[in-house]
Amino acid sequence: MIELDLRLLKNSNPGDEVGISGNASIARGIMESAVKIVTSYPGTPCAEIIEHLVIVSDDPDFYTEWSINEKVALEVAAAAAMSGKRSAFITKHVGMNVASDSLMHICYAGLNAGMVIISADDPGAFNSPIEEDSRFFARMSEILGLEASNQQEAKDMVVNALEISEKVKLPVFIRLTNRVLYGRGSVVMGKLQNRKYSAQFEKDKSRWFVAGRNAVNRHQWLHGQQTHLKDIVEYSSFNSIDWANQKKYGIIAIGVSYYYAKEALKILTPIKDKISILKLGCFNPLPENLIKMFLKNIEEVIIIEELEPFIEEKVKGLAFEIDKKVKIYGKLTCHLPETDALNTEFVRDVIINLWLNKTDTGSIAYEVQKQAEELNKLIPEQDNTFCPGCPHRASYFVLRESLKIVNQEFIFTNDIGCYMLGVKKPFSFADAVFCMGASIGIGSGLYHAKIKQRIIAIIGDSTFLHAGIPALINCCYTNTDILIYILDNRTIAMTGLQPYPGIGIDAKGNKAKLTKIEDIVKACNVDHLAIIDPFKVNKAKKILARALKMKGQRVVISRKECAQVSRKINKENEKIKTYKIEFRKCKKCKLCILSIACPAILIRNNSFVINKYFCSGCGLCSQICPYGAIILDREK
Amino acid sequence: MNYNRELLITGPRVYKILEISQIISQASILQGLEVKTAEFTNEPLMFSEIVHIRMGKEIYSPLIIKNKADILVCFEPLLALELVTQYSSSVSMIILNTHSILPFIHQTEQAISIFEQLAEKIIKVDIFQIAKEAGNINKNNFVMLGILDGLNILPIDSVNIIKAVEDIVDQHDIINYVKLIEMGKGSASLF
């Protein structure tokens, strides 16, 4: 996706209006603000920000890294800002959980240059395991929290946040949601600031030694900064009011919800001119005086925000303070959902129900809807979503074959990455999935709880380095009986093929020091370690079966490069080989489809064929076919 | 004249529909229109991608309201079924790529018969065939862009679509892309 905006970012001049994604607009904001250090751990929907920056930025003083996890990433960015260089830390919402420990401490110390934290929330969990509302981290750490409603505002907020951050000596938190990041809109390019910094870390224990009584003093300082933040939000241009002719009804909305409200009012012409809208851009602290003034002028208000009733709870308190009975509707009154992404229909319907006393109609004919639903059920569930040639498919196939040899009962704890798609048929190797690295910790807990089945924890290469190592050490320390199956595809595939220390390539594509997973595993002192190539099925399944039969902490690394990476390399070298099905030999036993569900294998006119545009040439299917009907296509 | 258009495009990732979204977004801006898009990946359906494109005047939400899409482009009809039933109306136009890459031909035909009950106009086109004739089967999404342009259903002049392509793609590829667009545009005159 990133290449789409690169040319526009590179070639546009200040004042040009372009149509770019939210991710690209954030990258532009970072460039315009002369940020020198940007850190992150890859995660959707915000991985593209760094990917834009590493290609577009030609500033020799600009440094960016894919850190090993979000905690380290935040620390690196914060240290830069402590020593006087502007920085940015970018994470998806759940990454804030990992980074929060450092954030709470760093805010006590404060910074010497601007720092912005970009947190990408995913209401609806379209690209995430859960749909957490990360705004609470801004409140917990007592820093300014902003939320952008579109791509232009996202860019402007980055520029403004860095200036505010420098004034108050604290990081500024910007919450973005999937609809802004994974969407396009008009953005006017600003001027690139030309700032030169010289980094300097001044020794000052009263500030940087955050512990004991000193921490209490710094906490007091942090509280003192709240006065400045409150002043800033009252006058921020990111908050505004559209007054209606009649001041009876009101809407308070933040982020993309503001535009859902505007769109709903555009449709609801009978009431359009009777509803005032307070658009918020600042959520922590809230512009309390502005909100109070708004509430004083209306009688009923709907609060629209995505996920938790963060603002609604506060507004209820403010209404009490002004001593006026304002009817407040939202999530707490069950007029809007506390889960899932919002849309215009939600807002339209709540306005209709509350203020127009009507229900909306306009859905398609019931019979047609019914037919479509029936047909939808016919789309086979087993359409495995692993790409053709994916080594995870081969790793799971090998696991299934080796389990046939072992004949024991297992629980499979899985982890975060492409490989979690192993939950689907024909594999079903994910009895539980939680957060990064949890497969090993949860697996260990199940063993110590003495459940009757044995445990297999499945984890990816980068996930292992991110959060799996402490859990593995814990397994060894507590003598857990567990097999850890590390699926090493030599990249961070799920978020767009980013590099990581396991392949010794840095964010800019340059050579870096290599961290070998097997060396770390050995250092943890496991009982057994083996490395397999999942595409050498017979050999791999014997090795894995042996490890499965053993006891203690066993690690099997299934290593093969991601097919997407290989395809890119092959494309450059024009060495793509594909397979075909010899129809005379094919007995139509369906084994190839049922056992690996490769999307390249199709049934056309009652014959089995391989789509040569999809086939990556991995050869897994040819090893499975008992009749030798799948052979290399030498025509291509 | 009503410049507003609600365009929904869906298909497996292999069709690169996000490229169409980007070009139409940039072309809309060059045309002086407001534009907003929302892009989704639908993992359970073979990594289908879904793009909402809203262009015209007073465009606020990035999402199309259900049953309000003017044009629905479906690269893989069967995978588009749920979306089409949600977003089409009796005045919608549905453009279908008839070259399915899925193994479920019968169900695909059933899906198309349902679409015929839903929309005012259905256009069926084999974009693979046109792209093959143009000499670049992998960039068939540009053929679809040409069809959209040729049907005169977007409030955007052809010159701005080409300018947007020039803004976005590598300079040495422009001739090939323009050829694909022109082929698509030419085929649109048959519908």
- Cβ–Cβ < 8 Å for A437, A464: yes
CA separation for the pair B20, B22 (Å, rounded): 5
| CATH classification at residue A605 | 3.30.70.20
A206 interfacial to chain B (CB closer than 8 Å): no
A607: Cβ contacts below 8 Å, ≥ 6 apart: A581, A583, A586
ipTM here:
0.94
* List of chain A residues with pLDDT < 50: 360-364, 381-382, 384, 636
Q: Let me know if A520 is exposed, middle or buried by CB neighbors in 10 A (0-12, 13-18, 19+).
A: middle
* Assigned token pair, B95: 């453009």
CB contact under 8 A, B45 and A380: no
B7 alpha-carbon distance from chain centroid: 7
Output the pLDDT for position A364: 47
CB contact under 8 A, A371 and B118: no
Tracing tokens 């594999």 back to the chain, one arrives at A427
Where helices occur in B7-51 by DSSP H, the ranges are 17-30
Helix (H) or strand (E) holding B138: none
Secondary-structure breakdown of chain A: helix, strand, coil percentages, each rounded to the nearest 5: 40, 20, 40
Which of A27-36, B78-87, B126-135 is most confident? A27-36
Does residue A376 sit within a domain?
A: no
pLDDT higher than 50, residue B60: yes
Output the pLDDT for position A575: 56
Query: How do A249-254 and A240-242 pair as beta strands?
Result: unpaired
Which residues 99-128 on chain B approach chain A with CB closer than 8 angstroms? 101-105, 107, 110-111, 114, 117-118
- Cβ–Cβ < 8 Å for B174, B152: no
Output the pLDDT for position A58: 82
* Assigned token pair, A309: 């009733």
- Cβ–Cβ < 8 Å for A331, A346: no
Assess whether A78 and A179 both reside in one domain.
Answer: yes
Which residues 227-266 on chain A approach chain B with CB closer than 8 angstroms? 256, 259-260, 262-263, 266
Cβ contacts (< 8 Å) between A378 and chain B: which residues?
Answer: 104, 107, 110
CA separation for the pair A581, B71 (Å, rounded): 39
CA separation for the pair A507, A492 (Å, rounded): 12
DSSP string, A432-444: EE-STTHHHHHHH
- Cβ–Cβ < 8 Å for B19, B53: no
- Please give the mean pLDDT across all residues of chain B: 89
Mean pLDDT across B36-43: 85
A150 interfacial to chain B (CB closer than 8 Å): yes
Q: Is B98 helix (H, G, I), strand (E, B) or coil?
A: coil
- Determine which of A267-281, B101-115, B169-183 has the lowest per-residue pLDDT on average: B101-115
Which residues 361-420 on chain A approach chain B with CB closer than 8 angstroms? 362-365, 368-369, 371-373, 375-376, 378-380, 383, 385
User: By C-alpha distance, which of B55, B7, B6, B10 is closest to B34?
Assistant: B55
CA separation for the pair B47, B14 (Å, rounded): 9
- The per-residue b/e assignment along A431-467, b for 16 or more CB within 10 angstroms, e otherwise, is bbbebbbbbbbbbbebbeeeeeebbbbbbbbbbbbbb
Assess whether A508 and A547 both reside in one domain.
Answer: yes
A31 interfacial to chain B (CB closer than 8 Å): no
| CATH classification at residue A255 | 3.40.50.920
Q: Tell me how many domains chain A contains.
A: 4
Q: Which domain holds residue A520?
A: 391-567
- The answer to whether the pTM exceeds 0.90 is yes
- Cβ–Cβ < 8 Å for B153, B25: no
Nearest to B21 among A184, A362, A421 (CB): A184
* Assigned token pair, A597: 């569900």
CA separation for the pair A134, B4 (Å, rounded): 35
Please name every residue paired with A39 in a beta bridge, in sequence order, or none if there are none: A65, A89
* Closest CA in chain B for residue A44: B41
Q: Is A335 helix (H, G, I), strand (E, B) or coil?
A: coil
For domain B5-188, which architecture applies? 3-Layer(aba) Sandwich (3.40)
A522 interfacial to chain B (CB closer than 8 Å): no
Assess whether A213 and A334 both reside in one domain.
Answer: no
Output the pLDDT for position A198: 87
Mean pLDDT across B169-190: 89
User: By C-alpha distance, which of A224, A227, A199, A222 is closest to A210?
Assistant: A222
* Assigned token pair, A511: 């050579």
CA separation for the pair A432, A415 (Å, rounded): 8
Tracing tokens 């595939």 back to the chain, one arrives at A493
Does residue A375 sit within a domain?
A: no
A211: Cβ contacts below 8 Å, ≥ 6 apart: none
Does residue A384 sit within a domain?
A: no
CB contact under 8 A, A385 and B47: yes
- Cβ–Cβ < 8 Å for A291, A252: yes
What are the φ/ψ torsions at residue A603 (nearest 5 degrees)? -110, 120
Shortest alpha-carbon distance between residue B69 and chain A (Å)? 13
Does residue A308 sit within a domain?
A: yes
What are the φ/ψ torsions at residue A199 (nearest 5 degrees)? -75, 140
Three-class secondary structure assignment of A94-156 = CHHHHHHHHHHHHHHHCCCCCEEEEEEECCCCCCCCCCCCCHHHHHHHCCEEEECCCHHHHHH
User: By C-alpha distance, which of A431, A432, A422 is closest to A397?
Assistant: A422
CB contact under 8 A, A602 and B39: no
Assess whether A178 and A257 both reside in one domain.
Answer: no
Which residues 442-501 on chain A approach chain B with CB closer than 8 angstroms? none
A143: Cβ contacts below 8 Å, ≥ 6 apart: A107, A117, A170, A171, A172, A173, A229, A284
pLDDT higher than 60, residue B46: no
A513 alpha-carbon distance from chain centroid: 26
Look at residues A356, A372, A405 and tell me which one is the last residue of a structural domain: A356
Shortest alpha-carbon distance between residue B83 and chain A (Å)? 10
Query: How do A172-177 and A144-147 pair as beta strands?
Result: parallel
Assess whether A167 and A115 both reside in one domain.
Answer: yes
B91 interfacial to chain A (CB closer than 8 Å): no
Output the pLDDT for position A570: 60
CA separation for the pair A526, A396 (Å, rounded): 23
* Assigned token pair, A124: 């609806």
Q: Let me know if A631 is exposed, middle or buried by CB neighbors in 10 A (0-12, 13-18, 19+).
A: middle
Query: How many other CB atoms sit within 10 Å of the CB of residue A289?
Result: 12
Assess whether A280 and A319 both reside in one domain.
Answer: yes
CB contact under 8 A, A185 and B37: yes
Torsion of CA A297, A302, A308, A313, to 10 degrees: 40
